């Protein structure tokens, strides 16, 4: 039974060593287990036949029924092809073969009726189908029902390995009576009412009905997500039980004095709640690893400061790390403004900190007189040693990798409490997966009196009107961002449109000073330009998305986003968060070409209707898939996902999480006999190598 996991596919009936090699290279399929887990990505109902006349738009794989009218062999040498005309009575289409030309020409006849299965494409207004699967009528009738379309590569198709061929091999395996042991513990199968593995695999390859197929897909998705959730929980439970954390037992002078005398406004309820969560967390004796999610402007900095004051009250030091020098500088100014009056000693360490100041910092860190160190990654590269670092706050997690977090811990003999702050609103179920080892707090409320940013969609032909609006804001002493999409900082064309944009803005608003930043500037020059704007010396900032993260210029009330149609929703939301930071009404103007796809227009219109980051993130994920998040995060997952989708399978993620909790409550190290098969499967499937050593 188990041997299917290791059975080389070259021994599967009909495959052999050469094709085995091909499958391994092209699809990563090496064992019978892999082959059985190579699932169709879609299904076609073999009972339904399309009319060629009804073909329209981007067509899926379909079946058509009809006769060949003519056969022509065209071209020479490598370009030889068999071009046929096929008609189903409603209309005709071309059917083309680039391979097996001679064989096809000999085996097809004009008098026979055929069922073709393939993907129609439109070429110069005519429908075409290349290398379809072909059945005579009687055969087609015999294989009615749902039929899987397998993911393939062009190379495989050219070697005549199509969906049907894969299906045949898989069926040979399924019919060989070999079975895979179900890795899921019986308790989980029962409590979650999941289809057993053997049945699910059979259903996926040979569905008996749409409903059972659905159940089978759910089961396989569950399995993938269950590995991840169990793994994450084991890691975090183990860390909690093994890693002793500092105990912040008291709320002392710094915290209290700040709260009663320095706080410039009332905390929002959400801020209070999160501060309380942090207080409880840091007093358990275990290390805190908490993610604070809060939309742009929700006041995360203040929460971070209060957590740091708590550390200081208990005799520890704290540090706050930001992804860029600009941000670190801004945090430093903010924190000093808020807390230096109560005698908190705060200093800034970045790549450009002078040697003299560096020495002071090193001394004060070592003797404990420095309370809070604000910095960039430089803090990690620097040979800084804290006397007793109790809390590390990391702003904007996604620019600050897990590896860096780990290096931070090495700054201490005992790992400090870690607070990660992010403004990237990640739907809860996704957070559960990608940040599965962190506890999550959400600041789901903005400070009162904030006026939502008024967002408008404008087309290129309304540009003059937009410029007049900018002129009015500037005349009132406000500042303006103009953002260009420079996705690829090396793209010459994009750079040119950015430079042209800058030139024309300088010309139109010649009475004002215009700062200019993009990713290709040297850091010193970039900081200089940013500073021009931040200090108010420049009234307009023409920029690329380098300003996306965290910059705080409350006097900037207008943001124009050029070619907004080229940005993703979440990115637009991040950009928009740069305005609306003061008391004045702010505006975000999305400039777009007039001719855009329907979905693009809907996306942009959503931005004009809502400012809720979570609504936007959710919509973004549904439209694009987890996209960026998936790209960077999924590669960090301990297990590969083949069938589950982080964006759309939220419900299954929750279910898997609950089941994993229950399983581990009952058997924390997965050592009970009934969970052995599962523990082994986890070990065999994981991409992680080291951490599993302790589980057997
Ligand atoms: P973010 O969560 O984006 O990091 P910040 O911490 O920069 O947000 O806060 C945004 C602005 O809101 C700052 O100017 C801050 O002083 C202000 N702010 C924070 N909390 C409150 C509050 N409870 N009431 C009023 N204003 C607040
Ligand atoms: Mg912030």
Token look-up 């892999």 returns: 34
CA gap 577, 552 in Å, rounded: 9
Ligand closest to CA 395: 2
The dihedral over CA atoms of 151, 156, 160, 161, expressed in degrees to the nearest 10, equals -50
Neighbours of 375 (CB within 10 A): 24
Least confident window among 13-22, 307-316, 452-461, 642-651: 642-651
**Beta-carbon-side half-sphere exposure of residue 320 (alpha carbons within 13 Å):** 31
> Whose alpha carbon is nearest atom 24 of ligand 1?
447
User: Which band of pLDDT confidence, cut at 50, 70 and 90, is reported for residue 154?
Assistant: confident
CA of residue 337 to ligand 2 center, whole Å: 15
Q: What is the pLDDT of residues 212-226, one digit of tens each?
A: 999 999 999 999 999
Q: Is 552 in the pocket of ligand 1 (CB under 6 A)?
A: yes
DSSP string, 263-318: -SSPPPHHHHHHHHHHHHHTTSSB--EEEEEE-TTS-HHHHHHHHHHHHHHTT-EE
> Whose alpha carbon is nearest atom 4 of ligand 1?
300
* Confidence at residue 690, expressed as pLDDT on a 0 to 100 scale: 39
Closest ligand 1 atom, residue 577 Cα: 3
In which order are the strands placed within the sheet that holds 133-136?
A: 121-123, 126-130, 92-97, 81-87, 62-74, 114-118, 133-136
pLDDT reading at 696 higher than 80: no
Closest ligand 1 atom, residue 267 Cα: 23
Q: What is the pLDDT of residues 196-210, one digit of tens each?
A: 999 999 999 999 888
**Tokens found for residue 129:** 């189908």
Mutate to test the pocket of ligand 1, among 291, 293, 299 (most ligand atoms within 8 A of CB): 299
CB under 8 A, 24+ apart: contacts of 9-16: 9/34, 9/35, 9/169, 12/169, 12/172, 12/173, 13/169, 13/172, 13/176, 14/168, 14/169, 14/172, 15/169
* Domain annotation for the chain: domains and CATH numbers: 1-44+151-181 (1.10.150), 48-144 (2.40.50.140), 253-281+298-422 (3.40.50.300), 454-610 (3.40.50.300)
CA of residue 422 to ligand 2 center, whole Å: 8
For residues 370 and 308, the answer to whether their CB atoms sit within 8 Å is no
pLDDT reading at 629 higher than 60: no
Q: What is the pLDDT of residues 76-133, one digit of tens each?
A: 888 889 999 999 999 999 999 988 888 889 999 998 999 998 889 988 788 999 989 8
Q: Residue 592 is inside which H or E element, if any? A: strand 587-592
495 or 362, greater pLDDT: 362
Specify the 3-state DSSP secondary structure of 343. Answer: coil
* Confidence at residue 324, expressed as pLDDT on a 0 to 100 scale: 77
User: Which band of pLDDT confidence, cut at 50, 70 and 90, is reported for residue 541?
Assistant: very high
CA gap 373, 378 in Å, rounded: 11
Token look-up 């219109």 returns: 605
In which order are the strands placed within the sheet that holds 514-517?
A: 454-459, 587-592, 556-561, 479-483, 540-543, 514-517
293 forms beta bridges with 422, 442
Q: Residue 326 is inside which H or E element, if any? A: helix 325-339
Q: What is the pLDDT of residues 274-304, one digit of tens each?
A: 999 999 999 988 888 888 988 878 899 999 9
Q: What is the pLDDT of residues 489-525, one digit of tens each?
A: 567 777 777 888 899 999 999 999 999 988 788 878 8
Cα 547 to Cα 358, 485, 576: the distances in Å are 28, 12, 10
The dihedral over CA atoms of 329, 333, 335, 336, expressed in degrees to the nearest 10, equals 130
**Beta-carbon-side half-sphere exposure of residue 469 (alpha carbons within 13 Å):** 16
Query: pTM for the full model?
Result: 0.65
* Confidence at residue 267, expressed as pLDDT on a 0 to 100 scale: 94
* Confidence at residue 286, expressed as pLDDT on a 0 to 100 scale: 85
CA of residue 484 to ligand 1 center, whole Å: 27
> Whose alpha carbon is nearest atom 15 of ligand 1?
299
% the chain with pLDDT above 90: 47
């Amino acid at each position: 039974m188990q041997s299917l996991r290791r059975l080389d596919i070259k021994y599967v009936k009909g495959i052999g060593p050469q094709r085995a090699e091909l499958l391994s290279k092209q699809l990563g399929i090496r064992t019978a287990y892999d082959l059985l887990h190579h699932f169709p990505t879609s299904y076609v109902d073999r009972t339904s036949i399309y009319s060629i006349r009804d073909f329209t738009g981007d067509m899926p794989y379909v079946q058509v029924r009809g006769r060949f009218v003519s056969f022509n062999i065209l071209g020479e040498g490598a370009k030889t092809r068999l071009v046929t005309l096929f008609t189903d009575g409603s209309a005709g289409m071309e059917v083309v073969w680039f391979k097996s030309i001679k064989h096809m020409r000999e085996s097809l006849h004009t008098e026979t009726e055929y069922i073709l299965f393939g993907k129609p494409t439109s070429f110069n207004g005519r429908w075409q189908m290349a290398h379809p699967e072909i059945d005579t009528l009687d055969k087609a009738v015999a294989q009615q029902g749902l039929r899987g379309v397998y993911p393939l590569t062009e190379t495989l198709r050219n070697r005549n390995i199509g969906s049907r061929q894969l299906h045949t091999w898989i069926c040979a395996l399924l019919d060989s009576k070999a079975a895979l042991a179900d890795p899921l513990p019986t308790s989980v199968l029962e409590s979650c009412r999941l289809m057993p593995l053997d049945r699910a695999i059979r259903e996926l390859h040979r569905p008996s009905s749409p409903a059972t197929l659905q159940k089978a897909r759910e089961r396989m998705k569950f399995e993938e997500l269950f590995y991840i959730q169990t793994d994450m929980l084991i890691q975090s439970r183990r860390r909690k039980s093994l890693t002793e954390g500092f105990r912040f037992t008291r709320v002392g002078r710094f915290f209290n004095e700040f709260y009663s005398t320095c706080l410039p406004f009332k905390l929002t309820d959400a801020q209070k709640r999160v501060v309380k969560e942090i207080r409880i967390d840091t007093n358990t004796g275990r290390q805190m690893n908490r993610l604070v999610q809060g939309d742009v402007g929700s006041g995360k900095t203040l929460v971070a400061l209060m957590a740091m004051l708590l550390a200081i009250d208990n005799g520890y030091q704290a540090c706050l790390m930001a992804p860029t020098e600009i941000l670190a500088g801004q945090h430093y100014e903010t924190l000093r403004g808020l807390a230096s009056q109560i005698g908190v000693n705060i200093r800034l360490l970045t790549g450009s900190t002078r040697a003299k100041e560096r020495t002071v910092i090193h001394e004060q860190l070592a003797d404990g007189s420095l309370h809070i160190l604000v910095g960039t990654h430089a803090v990690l590269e620097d040979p800084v040693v804290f006397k007793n670092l109790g809390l590390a706050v990391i702003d904007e997690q996604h620019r600050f990798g897990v590896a860096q977090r780990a290096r931070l811990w090495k700054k201490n003999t005992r790992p400090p409490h870690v607070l990660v702050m992010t403004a990237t609103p990640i739907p809860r179920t996704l957070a559960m997966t990608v940040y599965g080892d962190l506890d999550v707090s959400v600041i789901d409320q903005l400070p009162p009196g904030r006026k939502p940013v008024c967002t408008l969609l404008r087309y290129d032909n309304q540009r003059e009107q937009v410029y007049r609006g900018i002129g009015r804001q500037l005349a009132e002493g406000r500042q303006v961002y103009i953002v260009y999409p420079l996705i690829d900082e090396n793209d010459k064309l994009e750079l040119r449109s950015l430079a042209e944009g800058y030139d024309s803005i300088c010309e139109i608003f010649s009475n004002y000073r215009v700062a200019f930043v993009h990713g290709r500037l040297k850091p010193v020059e970039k900081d200089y330009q940013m500073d021009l704007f931040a200090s108010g010396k420049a009234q307009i900032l023409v920029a690329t998305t380098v300003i996306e993260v965290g910059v705080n210029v409350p006097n900037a009330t207008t943001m124009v986003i050029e070619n907004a149609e080229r940005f993703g929703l979440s990115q637009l939301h991040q950009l928009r968060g740069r305005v609306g930071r003061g008391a004045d009404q702010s505006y975000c103007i999305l400039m777009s070409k007039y001719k855009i796809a329907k979905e693009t227009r809907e996306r942009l219109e959503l931005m004009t209707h809502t400012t809720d980051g979570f609504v936007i993130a959710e919509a973004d994920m549904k439209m694009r898939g987890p996209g960026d998040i998936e790209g960077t995060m999924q590669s960090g997952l301990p297990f590969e996902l083949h069938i589950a989708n982080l964006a759309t399978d939220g419900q299954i993620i929750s279910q898997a999480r609950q089941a994993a909790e229950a399983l581990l409550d009952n058997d924390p190290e997965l050592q009970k006999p009934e969970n052995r098969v599962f523990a082994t499967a986890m070990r065999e499937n994981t991409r992680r190598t080291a951490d599993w050593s302790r589980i057997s």
